[in-house]
Structure 1
Amino acid sequence: MTTKTIQKRTISPFRYDIVGSFLRPERLKQAREQFIKKEITHDELRKIEDEEIIDLIRKQEKAGLKAITDGEFRRSWWHLDFFWGLNGISFKVPDHGYQFVGEETRAGTVTVTGKISGENHPFVEDFKFVRDHVSEGTQVKQTIPAPAQLLIALTIGEELADARKFYDTNESLVDAIVQAYQTVIKDFYDAGARTIQFDDCTWGLLVAEPPDGIPLLEGQTELGAREALKHVFVDINNRVITGLPDDLIINTHVCRGNYHSKWAFSGSYDFVADPLFNYENVDAYYLEYDSDRSGGFEPLKLVSEDKLVVLGLITSKSGQLEDRAVIIDRIHEAAQFIDLDRLALSPQCGFASTEEGNVLTEEQQWTKIAFIKSIAEEVWGD
């Protein structure tokens, strides 16, 4: 059911787009290592970060990207750095990292150490830096982990006991997370942000085989817990979105894990499409579709008519280019379930969700982006 008229995209998401993170340059990796060893100061590290981000901004603009990021160059993790930037949340080193297929990540998580709030989040100043260094007409996209992602981080395993020291119920914890997020987002908005992206692996958790021991809903069957969690996740994300300015775009990226080219979860969107696609109040979904781990396109028929979908058909986990004809065919296959005019194209995830980065070169990274741009121009003429 393709539309006859293709509209030019002037706000995020654009026809060819990115998820957010980029491979860290070697100079930046070395500087971060020197800082950890106390061989350079924080100001010296910051200066190198500034220089590398400015260089990245220029490369993104040269590549023709219309909404750019700082590549997450100031972060070690795509999510944890944002979490511990909130008041009342601290970094913690657990006994084990996250388990991915074929690899365990380095260990890191967050825990509640006080009342949670969002004042003076350091990411706001980071946003201002990018804002001040882009060319006129270039839009800046701010990526942050979804509120549901923080809820899961604070209620799985030992972290639940720490949360209970300050919040007696899940409801009171959710209230605090919602308020903290709204505070940070308001500060982003006041600084000029008009596009914010919620990166969200919670849906990847649910599309997989039922996980053991979900503490949010103790006493229920695993399937029952999964069913209920769908609505818990949509509810907390929607509560944060409620009341935000009308001209603030909120998009979301649904992820199955991205660490050193490994993945954590496998499963189609069928189980989560309702309520994810029809009740979450975002403007667009960036969806992984680079392998058969994501299933087919049929769930896209549930996407509300006012929302867009960015097809992550190009993998960021490998430097090898996909078959151009196959990608174009898959775009039109997806258009059987959602109008072509409501579709766009991107990598399936960032190129470096953590500072380790995926297993490809920077040259291959930029070649992928050029490949995406050329396909989008052929399909949509935009």
Structure 2
Amino acid sequence: MSSQSLHLFPPFRAEHIGSLKRPKILLDQRVAFDKKECTPQELRAVEDQSIQKIVDVQRQAGIKTLTDGEFRRHMFFDGVFDNLEGMTLVPDAPASLFKMYVPDVAGFQVRDFKGADTWICTGKLRRTKPFYVDQFNGLKQFVKPEEVPHIKVTICAPEWFHLRHGEHAYNTEIYKNDAEYFAHIAKAYREEIADLYAAGCRNIQIDDPLLAYFCAESMLKGMKEEGVDSEALLDTYIKAYNDFLPARPKDMTIGLHLCRGNFKDGRHFSEGGYDRIAVKLFNEIDVDCYYLEYDTARAGTFEPLQFLPPHKSAVLGVISSKLSQLEDISSLKKRIDEAAETMTRGQWKRTKEEALNQLSISPQCGFASHSEGNVISDEVMAKKLKLVSETAKQIWTDA
């Protein structure tokens, strides 16, 4: 299989989702920092040391789109709402504050939910400081000047706390409705994207497992029982995206990552193919590419890719970041070939080669969506990344 280089988004055929396993020295230092046993400068020094090494791991594996592994975070969604003025931390929030139809909330409820830290909007939302610019600049020092445009920054989805809390998400004396609430969130994202661009960032990935939850029968059923219109809510979230995405510069790539959960024991939280949301996902959200979980049957078939328009691309997560067993390259190639063949049967007339040119390959999720990381070794992670690049080279001539 081969394809001429018409591919624009994302920059490379072999991708990874963003988070990588943190070394023990970094985990230990963060524990010490949380206990106030070391200074911010001492923590930063260990973060820098660890990031420099993980950049080398990516290079050695043949991954050209570089990230800092999210080594300066505890959770993948850190960064926005914990830095946004008007948000208030609620420690050990009771179950009554959460929507139990949200799959990951329900998953923790099964495990004797006794409260969890969360963020609620209690005042007008304003971005008074950058969210991720410091992390971008922190990684820039470890890459070559020509690699700076290849840095990928992963950011939190705009509806993260809204879905989890529903009517509890914001104080109705501050915002009368969702439209007012998301208008200020969109303004904050526009400002952040502008500052990231000014710093040299050209590649952003928005991590949004919540959109995949709209494919889960369990959540749709729970919403219906509570009188929530799931289609209307999905439309609200799409509008929230499109209130800030069109403002990005033309030479900045923004991708959207969907998965079904990636907790430390390899647990997922939802199931269901993209069929329920494919038309809106691929045609109404103004992003350039989609990072899609496709390593197990819970993600469904490739049929929804028929709705991917010709000017966008999909990064197929056919390699697991949870299981230590290495996938077979020939099987991976067959799956990518199957996806491209499926796309030729869609509403747009395209050849198999043209369809293939809209695709890339990656793991289905990160290797450490939370600080502890998945239950695989550093060595296996490196082999998985190498497998991504080796498979891409066998499929695409421009890999």
Q: Does the TM-score normalized on the shorter chain lie above 0.5?
A: yes
Identify the residue that residue 308 of structure 1 maps to in structure 2. 313
Alignment of 1:353-368 (within 5 A): 353-368=369-384
* Residues in 2 aligned to 1:359 and 1:288: alpha-carbon distance in whole angstroms: 18
- Look up the match of 1:38: 36
Q: Given the alignment of the two structures, is residue 263 of structure 1 paired with residue 271 of structure 2, yes or no?
A: no
Q: Deviations over 1:260-302 (max 9, x none)?
A: 1111110000001020011111110000000000000011010
- Cα distance 1:103–1:351, how it changes in 2: closer, same or farther (>3 A)? farther
Given that residues 147 and 240 in structure 1 are in contact (C-alpha distance below 8 angstroms), is that contact kept between their aligned partners in structure 2? no
**Residues 120, 161 of structure 2: 8 Å contact kept:** no
1:140 aligns with 2:168: no
Partners of 1:278 and 1:145 in 2: how far apart? 21
**Which SS does the other structure have where 1:242 is aligned?**
helix
Which has the higher mean CA deviation after the structures are superposed, 307-316 or 103-112? Answer: 103-112
Tell me by how many angstroms 1:117 deviates. 1.7
Cα drift, residue 364 of structure 1: 0.4
Tell me if structure 2 keeps the 8 A contact 1:309–1:343: yes
Q: Which runs of 5+ in 2 are unaligned?
A: 96-103, 344-354
Partner of 2:202: 194
Q: Secondary structure at the match of 1:111?
A: strand
1:378 matched to 2:385? The reply is no
Identity within the alignment, % = 35
How many angstroms apart in 2 are the aligned matches of 1:107 and 1:356?
A: 17
The answer (yes or no) to whether the contact 1:13–1:310 under 8 Å persists in 2 is no
Q: Distance in 1 between matches of 2:197 and 2:90?
A: 30
**Retained in 2: the 8 A contact 1:80–1:91?**
no
Q: How much has 1:219 moved relative to structure 2?
A: 7.0
- Tell me the equivalent position of 2:233: 229
Name the stretch that deviates more: 62-71 or 102-111: 102-111
The 2-side partners of 1:333 and 1:5 are apart by 15
Matches within 5 A, 1:329-348: 329-338=334-343, 339-348=355-364
Aligned residue pairs, count = 372
* Alignment of 1:180 onto 2:153: no
Q: CA–CA distance in 2 between the matches of 1:95 and 1:52? A: 36
TM-aligned CA deviation for residue 231 of structure 1: 1.5
Output the CA distance in 2 between the equivalents of 1:103 and 1:317: 21
Deviation at 1:58, TM superposition (A): 2.2
Q: Distance in 2 between matches of 1:104 and 1:273?
A: 34
Q: How does 1:219-298 map to 2 (within 5 A)?
A: 220=227, 225-260=229-264, 261-298=266-303
**How far is 1:173 from its partner?**
0.3
Deviations 1:119-167 (A, max 9, x none): 32242111111123212332110110122334324x436x33x432421
Separation in 2 of the partners of 1:218 and 1:165?
Answer: 27
RMSD: 2.3
CA contact (8 A) 1:13 1:284 kept: no
Give, in angstroms, the shift of residue 343 of structure 1: 0.5
Query: CA–CA distance in 2 between the matches of 1:183 and 1:194?
Result: 15
2: CA distance between counterparts of 1:36 and 1:112?
25
Q: Which runs of structure 1 show a deviation greater than 6 angstroms over 4 or more consecutive aligned residues?
A: none
Residue 105 of structure 2: aligned partner = 98
Equivalent residue letter for 1:227: E
Gaps of 5+ in 1: none
Secondary structure at 1:175 match in 2: helix
1:38-79 CA-partner distances (Å, limit 9, x unpaired): 111222111111211122122222222111111001111111
- Distance verdict in 2 for CA 1:218–1:98, change over 3 Å: closer
Specify whether residues 319 and 300 from structure 1 end up closer, same or farther in structure 2 by C-alpha distance, changes over 3 A only: same
Q: Which residue of 2 aligns with 1:85?
A: 83
Q: 1:91 to 1:255 in 2, by over 3 A?
A: farther
SS at match of 1:108: strand
Q: Distance in 2 between matches of 1:13 and 1:308?
A: 11
CA distance in 1, matches of 2:173, 2:274: 36
**8 Å Cα contact 1:85-1:123 kept in structure 2:** no
